[in-house]
């Protein structure tokens, strides 16, 4: 066993773990952070969009030195059928502001920088160390961690589990269940490199402006899923994700979906001639509010993806991770300052503070959305995109058919595909889940 | 699934950096004669195509190309079909971009 004792051990150096370690170290706590990768970031995968507000709360002047890619001035939502896309694009010069709101980032590079701030604040960061188990006393209280290093047991007053979506340690210690196939999505992603002028021309961007595209439709072949295309400075992050339970049911392959997405006539010209430099995969929590496990116990708290804190509707995860890490750290510091023990009761301050933040409020708002989209994936991801595409084509194609006939043909195609009851039911259910 | 898609997975993994830990597979398949539905699902769901059928019709795993997503754990650990851990510290996939 390692004799040195810490106020807190943070397992994992992603967004949540770095936020927690930084916050506690800044408060003067003795913090050890453990990371299994060769450096912080080398195991971390995300699209990725960074939300400035949540990082500003931790590092106010991050824009001066963080490795940021492009600030986002345009968001495109696409609904695809096999040959077309119907798009909703929002681009505004307002986003060319002094302190932009959203950036694209490359996680391995960003996290390495984030970790340097954690070290500067005084935390000990130990990489290439896999935590294999939680150390618990006879009463089940978490008293530290066991690692794959020799004499690898280390003790602390509290362990912050920022171990990522798989949440292996929590499951092994019986603190929570492993994620279920219908509560996580598998996303695969490639990094496509192109000269920056080419990217700027293809996305209609100036300088460091960026655009992101999110796409649903027949690309997921009736499964609950989404494709994404994010512009970085000199590369494009392109990927697609679907629920694991849908992959299991359909026998579709993730790389097969990715290839078809890349070959879509609306997508292929964006990446034409690119050089691919990495292929990655990652799970994304999709269960929403109802999938949030117990957030704290005697000697431990859980933050970020490990706590399934992800807003699938708004595609926000890293900001929830950062915020939960920071709030957990603040709660721990308060308990410590009162010289109280790190019991479940005292640490439930974290839960209370998180409930008062946007994290839980947003997830609660959409608590019925995952079930709706997961159960009706054929309708929302296949039938409607096809119908909308057909309606648009009918609207714009000029072929001598009187407009009145065109409109009734569009209406008939909707009613025959979903029936009046189905259409109203879907609209009602969607509105209710959105509310 | 067509063969050409399968070939491309190996090409995709070729872009990645790995530190392989010889003789220490971090995922193990439970010995079996006939694969369960969960094991069969892994043949297609694994994004790195680490799972393959051998000539006896059993599912085997080669972890060298694993990108550590956890999909196989979510599908196959509860039923005991696979044992799943992370690689030892410093080993496994080393993302340059992530």
Mean pLDDT of A349-363: 97
Q: Which residue of B has its CA nearest to A67?
A: B97
Q: How far apart are alpha carbons A327 and A324 in whole angstroms? A: 5
The pLDDT value recorded for residue A3 is 79
**Shortest CB distance from A283 goes to which of B12, B70, B90?**
B70
The pLDDT value recorded for residue B2 is 42
The pLDDT value recorded for residue A331 is 98
Instruction: Tell which CATH architecture fits domain A2-69+105-177+293-365.
Output: 3-Layer(bba) Sandwich (3.50)
Pick from A250, A254, A246, A192: nearest CA to A224? A246
Q: What is the pTM of this model?
A: 0.95
Q: How far apart are alpha carbons A217 and A246 in whole angstroms? A: 15
Pick from A123, A140, A132, A177: nearest CA to A299? A140
The pLDDT value recorded for residue B6 is 52
In the CATH hierarchy, which fold is given to the domain comprising A182-285? Answer: D-Amino Acid Oxidase; Chain A, domain 2 (3.30.9)
Q: In degrees, to the nearest 5, what angle opens at C-alpha B53 toward C-alphas B15 and A227?
A: 45
Place of tokens 């798989």: A166
The pLDDT value recorded for residue B4 is 46
**Shortest CB distance from B69 goes to which of A44, A106, A281?**
A281
Question: Between chains, do B97 and A109 touch, taking CB under 8 Å as contact?
Answer: yes
The neighbouring-strand residues paired with A102 are: A51
The pLDDT value recorded for residue A430 is 87
Mean pLDDT over the full length of chain A: 95
pLDDT in tens, A164-212: 999 999 999 999 999 999 999 999 999 999 999 999 999 999 999 999 9
Do the Cβ atoms of A293 and A208 come closer than 8 Å? Answer: no
Mean pLDDT of A8-27: 98
Burial class (CB in 10 A: 0-12, 13-18, 19+), A381: buried
Q: Which tokens go with A18?
A: 């770095």
Q: In degrees, to the nearest 5, what angle opens at C-alpha B87 toward C-alphas B85 and B89?
A: 125
The pLDDT value recorded for residue A236 is 98
Place of tokens 């935590």: A131
Question: Between chains, do A281 and B92 touch, taking CB under 8 Å as contact?
Answer: no
Chain B neighbors of A243, CB-CB under 8 A: none
Residue B1 confidence class, pLDDT cut points 50, 70, 90: very low
**Shortest CB distance from B47 goes to which of A37, A149, A281?**
A281
DSSP string of B66-94, one letter each residue: -----HHHHHHTTTTSEEE-PPSTT-EEE
pLDDT in tens, A32-88: 999 999 999 999 999 999 999 999 999 999 999 999 999 999 999 999 999 999 999
Chain B neighbors of A251, CB-CB under 8 A: 1, 41, 44
CA distance A316 to chain B (A): 17
Residue A152 confidence class, pLDDT cut points 50, 70, 90: confident
Answer whether B92 touches A (CB < 8 Å).
yes
Reported residue count of chain B is: 98
Question: Between chains, do B95 and A277 touch, taking CB under 8 Å as contact?
Answer: no
Mean pLDDT of A79-107: 96
Q: How far apart are alpha carbons A80 and A215 in whole angstroms? A: 7
Mean pLDDT of A364-386: 90
Percent of chain A with pLDDT over 70: 100
The neighbouring-strand residues paired with A156 are: A6
Residue A141 CB-half CA count within 13 A: 16
Question: Does A1 have pLDDT greater than 90?
Answer: no
The pLDDT value recorded for residue A429 is 87
Pick from A295, A360, A293, A299: nearest CA to A335? A299
Q: Which tokens go with A219?
A: 């690309």
Instruction: Tell which CATH architecture fits domain B3-94.
Output: 2-Layer Sandwich (3.30)
Mean pLDDT of A246-269: 96
Which backbone phi and psi does B49 adopt, to 5 degrees? 50, 50
Q: How far apart are alpha carbons B40 and B23 in whole angstroms? A: 25
pLDDT in tens, B24-37: 999 999 999 999 99
Mean pLDDT over the full length of chain B: 93
Mean pLDDT of A408-425: 92
Chain A neighbors of B9, CB-CB under 8 A: 255
Q: For chain A, give every domain's residue range.
A: 2-69+105-177+293-365, 182-285, 369-434
Chain B neighbors of A252, CB-CB under 8 A: 44
Q: Which tokens go with A201?
A: 């021309």
Mean pLDDT of A98-127: 98
Question: Between chains, do A128 and B90 touch, taking CB under 8 Å as contact?
Answer: yes
Chain A neighbors of B81, CB-CB under 8 A: none
Question: Does B7 have pLDDT greater than 80?
Answer: no
Pick from A377, A328, A319: nearest CA to A21? A328
């Amino acid at each position: 066993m390692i004799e040195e004792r810490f106020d807190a051990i943070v397992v994992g150096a992603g967004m949540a773990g770095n936020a927690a370690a930084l916050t506690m170290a800044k408060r003067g706590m003795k913090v050890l952070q453990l990371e299994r990768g060769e450096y912080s970031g080398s195991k971390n995968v995300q699209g990725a969009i960074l939300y400035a507000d949540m990082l500003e709360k931790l590092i106010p002047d991050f824009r001066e030195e963080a490795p940021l890619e492009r600030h986002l001035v345009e968001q495109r939502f696409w609904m695809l059928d096999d040959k077309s896309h119907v798009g909703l694009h929002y681009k505004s010069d307002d986003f060319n502001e002094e302190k932009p709101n959203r950036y694209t980032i490359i996680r391995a590079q960003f996290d390495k920088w984030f970790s340097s701030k954690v070290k500067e604040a005084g935390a000990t960061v130990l990489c290439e160390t896999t935590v294999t188990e939680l150390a618990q006393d006879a009463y089940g209280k978490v008293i530290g961690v066991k690692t794959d290093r020799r004499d690898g047991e280390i003790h602390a007053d509290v362990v912050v589990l920022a171990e990522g979506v798989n949440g292996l340690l929590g499951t092994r210690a019986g603190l929570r269940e492993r994620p279920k196939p219908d509560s996580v999505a598998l996303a695969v992603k490639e990094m496509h490199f192109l000269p920056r002028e080419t990217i700027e021309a293809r996305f209609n961007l100036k300088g460091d402006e960026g655009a992101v595209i999110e796409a649903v439709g027949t690309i997921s072949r009736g499964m609950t899923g989404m494709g994404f295309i994010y512009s970085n400075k000199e590369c494009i992050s392109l990927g697609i994700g679907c629920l694991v339970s849908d992959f299991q049911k359909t026998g579709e392959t993730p790389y097969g979906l990715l290839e078809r997405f890349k070959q879509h006539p609306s997508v292929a010209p964006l990446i034409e001639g690119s050089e691919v430099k990495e292929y990655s995969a990652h799970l994304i929590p999709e269960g929403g509010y109802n999938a949030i496990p117990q957030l704290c116990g005697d000697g431990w708290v859980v933050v970020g993806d490990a706590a399934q804190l992800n807003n699938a509707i708004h595609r926000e995860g890293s900001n929830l991770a950062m915020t939960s890490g920071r709030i957990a750290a603040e709660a721990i510091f308060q308990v410590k300052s009162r010289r109280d023990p790190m019991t479940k009761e005292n640490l439930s301050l974290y839960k209370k503070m998180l409930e008062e933040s946007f994290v839980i409020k947003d997830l609660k708002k959409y608590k019925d959305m995952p079930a709706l989209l997961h159960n009706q994936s054929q309708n929302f991801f296949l039938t409607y995109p096809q119908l909308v595409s057909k309606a648009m084509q009918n609207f714009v194609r000029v072929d001598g058919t009187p407009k009145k006939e065109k409109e009734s043909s569009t209406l008939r195609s909707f009613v025959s595909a979903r029936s009046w009851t189905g259409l109203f039911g879907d609209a009602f259910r969607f509105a209710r889940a959105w509310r | 699934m067509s063969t050409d898609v399968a070939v491309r997975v190996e090409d995709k993994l070729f872009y990645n950096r790995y530190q392989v830990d010889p003789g220490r597979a971090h995922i193990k398949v439970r010995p079996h004669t006939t694969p369960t539905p969960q094991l069969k699902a892994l043949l297609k769901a694994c994004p790195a195509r680490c799972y393959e059928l051998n000539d006896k019709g059993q599912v085997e795993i080669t972890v060298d190309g694993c990108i550590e997503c956890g999909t196989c754990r979510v599908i196959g650990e509860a039923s005991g079909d696979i044992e799943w851990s992370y690689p030892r510290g410093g080993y496994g996939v080393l993302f340059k971009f992530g």
